[in-house]
Amino acid sequence: MSNNALSSIEQAFTPLQIGPLLLKNRFIKSATNEGMSPQGVPSRQLVEFHAAMAAGGAALTTVAYCAVSADGCTLPSQIRLDRATLPHLRVLTDAVHAAGGAVSAQITHGGCFTFTKVEGKRRPLSASGGFNKIGLMSGQFFKRAMGSTDMQRIAEDFAEGARLAREAGFDAVEIHMGHGYLLSQFISPLYNRRRDEYGGSLANRMRFPRQVLRQVLDAVGDDLAVICKFSMTDGVRAGNRPEDGVEIARHLAEEGAHMLVLSAGMNAESITTMFGSSFPPENRAVVTNPIMKAAMYLQQLAEKPRDFSELYLLKYARQVRSAVNIPLAYLGGLTSADGVNTLISEGFEAMALGRVLIHDPTWVNQLRDGSMTRSGCTACNRCVAMMYTEGGTSCVLGKPGDPLLNSMPAAG
């Protein structure tokens, strides 16, 4: 039977080729901060978290925020891709493979979006220097514009991070180019005020992110799928608009990315654009870090309340779909079989799920056998704050993470 003769749900369970990687179906667990790497060491809880995603039916699960440089971490508990973490990451990738899935490492650098101070470095790196509004809470009041030597080092750090991911058994890497992290700081005019060949026009602002993508492809592109996640719109005045998102996609496709994950928004300025709905006040109650608690409070004051609606980023994703001819993973509020039908019928090759799979890792299998067509996730966004708890990220409607497992190194 041809794909054309299959229903949309059946097509969602057909294999998908992404570069050198063949996925068993079209469902991807998107990267979501797990809070399961105390002092940067992947825990047994992190292993169980991702193995459950694979066992529940997701073809590919994504390990969030693996920093490629010591100065690239955004939080003290963030994974650093280095030799010390390889044994722990190997336990994780082996567990995911044993559960029948593939696994991706999201490789990133926080730039000036960091709450971690690096010894010997007074100012975090960014596209442009000057006042660092993100650093107000952590005492890093200024940022430093990257020079050519910085760019060469960071690009090689991304390439080496990808090589280490390959050595740790990962099947793919996802380069994070959105949400206000370093590469996003180059892409967005909100952060990039440069007047050299890396600033000004979008083509210039894409120059360094394209360099990073090229070096990662050259390093591992024959062995691992190389995916790029980016913001189709920054969702804030003076940032990138949807038409810019289309051009960003064209640049990444031209450079050779194997697939794009279509997200939106910025962590500090427009988080409701990213999540499609507002954060509840209850989130601050579970956060013990005073810096993060204060940041969340200020963020809620700055953004207008928004109610959740399914497929809230589809209007932007359609524009990208019409502009490029490479695999696209839609991300943003998929909660039902009807949503799957819509995305498949509109030509999206893959579907990335975050909150839905945190709520129930088995949802993909239940969708396949017809036992459930709509997720029980309420998009309350309380799972986001759970990453700061001892057990790590979990759904408040279900079982919390295990603090004991989360205190035990994966390879311990």
Tens-place pLDDT, residues 144-158: 999 999 999 999 999
Report pLDDT digits (tens) over 95-116: 999 999 999 999 999 999 998 8
Q: Mean pLDDT throughout 276-284? A: 70
- Give, as one character, the DSSP assignment of residue 326: S
pLDDT at residue 283, rounded to an integer: 47
- Reduced to 3 states, what is the DSSP secondary structure of residue 30? coil
pLDDT of residue 137: 78
- Which CATH architecture group holds 3-406? Alpha-Beta Barrel (3.20)
Rounded Cα distance between 182 and 185, Å, is 5
**297 an active-site residue?**
no
pLDDT of the residue at 293: 53
CB 173 within 8 A of CB 104: yes
Looking at the DSSP bridge assignments, the partners of residue 32 are none
Q: What is the predicted pLDDT for the residue at 138?
A: 81
How far apart are alpha carbons 45 and 113 in whole angstroms?
A: 26
Percent of the chain with pLDDT over 70: 92
Task: Kindly write down the DSSP assignment for every residue of 354-373, as one continuous string.
Answer: SHHHHH-TTHHHHHHHTS-S
* Token reading at 115: 């709450």
Nearest Cα residue to 13 out of 2, 27, 29: 27
Lowest mean per-residue pLDDT among 35-44, 134-143, 160-169: 134-143
The arithmetic mean of pLDDT across residues 320-328, rounded, is 98
Which of 154, 183, 143, 164 minimizes the C-alpha distance to 79?
164
| Range 302-325 average pLDDT | 91
Catalytic position from the list 65, 181, 198, 388: 181
Q: Look at residue 119 and tell me whether its pLDDT is greater than 90.
A: no
Read off the pLDDT of residues 9-63 as tens digits, 9 standing for 90 and up: 999 999 999 999 999 999 999 999 999 999 999 999 999 999 999 999 999 999 9
The confidence score (pLDDT) of residue 287 equals 53
Mean residue pLDDT of the chain comes to 93
Neighbours of 200 (CB within 10 A): 14
Rounded-to-integer distance, Cα 107 and Cα 159, Å: 10
With H, G, I as helix, E, B as strand and everything else as coil, classify residue 106: strand
Q: Average of pLDDT values for 237-250? A: 97
- Rounded CA-CA distance 393/402 in Å is 10
pLDDT, residue 2, reads 44
| 14: amino acid identity, one letter | T
What is the model's pLDDT at position 305?
Answer: 76
| Rounded CA separation 96/60 (Å) | 9
* Per-domain boundaries in the chain: 3-406
Average pLDDT score over residue span 269-291: 72
CA distance 390 to 116: 19
Contact between residue 69 and residue 109 where contact means Cβ atoms under 8 Å apart: yes
Q: Is the pLDDT of residue 302 over 80?
A: no
In this predicted model, what pLDDT tens digit does every residue of 344-365 receive, in sequence order?
999 999 999 999 999 999 999 9
Beta-carbon contacts of 84 under 8 Å, excluding residues fewer than 6 positions away, are 41
pLDDT at 27: 98
Residue 372 CA to residue 375 CA, distance in Å, equals 7
The percentage of residues in the chain with a pLDDT greater than 90, rounded to a whole number, is: 84
User: Who's near 236: CB < 8 A, 6+ residues apart?
Assistant: 190, 266, 269, 270, 273
pLDDT at 286 over 80: no
Q: How confident is the model at residue 79 (pLDDT cuts 50, 70, 90)?
A: very high
pTM attached to this predicted model: 0.94
Examine the pLDDT at 388 and tell me if it is beyond 90.
no
Would the pLDDT of 367 be above 70? yes
